[in-house]
Amino acid sequence: MIISIYELSKMEAEYEFAQEQIDKALHCDDYVSAIEECYNWADIIARKYGFTYNRNWKLFKKKLVACYFGAPPSKSFSKNMNPIDAFKEFKELYNNSVLRMTIHKNNEACHSKSMALDYGEEITQFSSALNQLCDQDCIVVFPESSGPHSICFRYSIDDLCQDIYFEAGYGQAYLTFENERGLHPTASMQKNFFSRQYCISGEDSLVLWLRNLIEKYGDYLIMNANRMCRLLGMDYISIEGYYNFGEKTCPIIVDCDLPFDKVFFKKVDRND
């Protein structure tokens, strides 16, 4: 996607305006208005990049990061569609893979729980979850990314590439980095403006595969994240993905954390 200097400055101005409105609302403890300003900004970005997201913040982030890194194999479903046939078609495409399902609640920025669908019971489990959705909730179904020859990873970068931080673990990212943080082995590599090499620490085998990821794909990951940061006018961003070191394929990017996520950490009545 080619963006002109005019469009670039306009996107930065839109982000700065949204930030000002959000800060004003948060100063008054008006979290409902702050969240609405986040969605107003997301509406502008979604129109610019040509996707819809049903005003679901988590789905917005997944579709936004896919514009820069490519979309992983997945399909989203909402209550307002007739999804059973579409789910069956998706299941047929990945019939030899374990499918996982994540429910993204409305006004949720992080900590979405993922579950593996039992073989032969996928449609029953999917239908049961679908019946529990509210209007702006969604379900994302995808083939299992984690496995015995893969690592989950995430990294943070600022708009000037002065501070870069990678961390990696085994299994599901939402468990390793969020819901069960501190209970799983991890490795990290960090570099700031004053250091030429990464400071490395962590479990030995994870350090090995994290180093392999950075040596092979570090430039690609850093440049794309920095481009995303600068085009959208943000100070920093975090990216999350999986790397299959057994097949040594290009890492799969599945999610991102945005500065506006902080607004959604405050619990809000879902009917507001």
SS3 state of residue 255: strand
pLDDT by residue (tens digit) across 144-198? 887 778 999 999 998 877 889 999 999 888 778 876 777 788 999 988 766 667 7
**pTM (predicted TM-score):** 0.87
Report how far residue 226's alpha carbon sits from residue 150's, in angstroms, rounded to the nearest whole number: 25
Quote the percentage of the chain above a pLDDT of 90: 43
pLDDT of 81: 65
Two structure tokens written together for 50? 């040509």
Ramachandran sector of residue 202 (left: φ over 0; alpha: ψ -120 to 50; beta: rest):
left
Q: What is the DSSP letter of 102?
A: E
- Of residues 135 and 59, more confidence is placed in 59
Per-residue burial over 6-38, b = 16 or more CB atoms within 10 Å of its CB, e = otherwise: eeeeebeebbeebbebbeebbeeeebebbbbbb
Give the residues across from 138 on adjacent strands: 78, 104
pLDDT of 80: 66
Residue 272 has pLDDT above 50, yes or no: no
**Cβ atoms 228, 237 nearer than 8 A:** yes
Instruction: Give the list of residues 6+ apart from residue 209 with CB closer than 8 angstroms, or none.
Output: 151, 168, 243, 245
Q: What is the mean pLDDT of the chain?
A: 85
pLDDT of 10: 79
Residue 7 has pLDDT above 90, yes or no: no
pLDDT by residue (tens digit) across 75-116? 888 876 667 788 888 888 887 788 899 988 888 887 787 888
Q: Number of helices (H) and strands (E), helices first, in the chain?
A: 7, 10
Query: Could you please report the per-residue DSSP string of 193-254?
Result: TT-SS-EEEE-HHHHHHHHHHHHHHHHHHHHHHHHHHHHHT-SEEEEEEEEETTTTPPPEEE
pLDDT of 171: 86
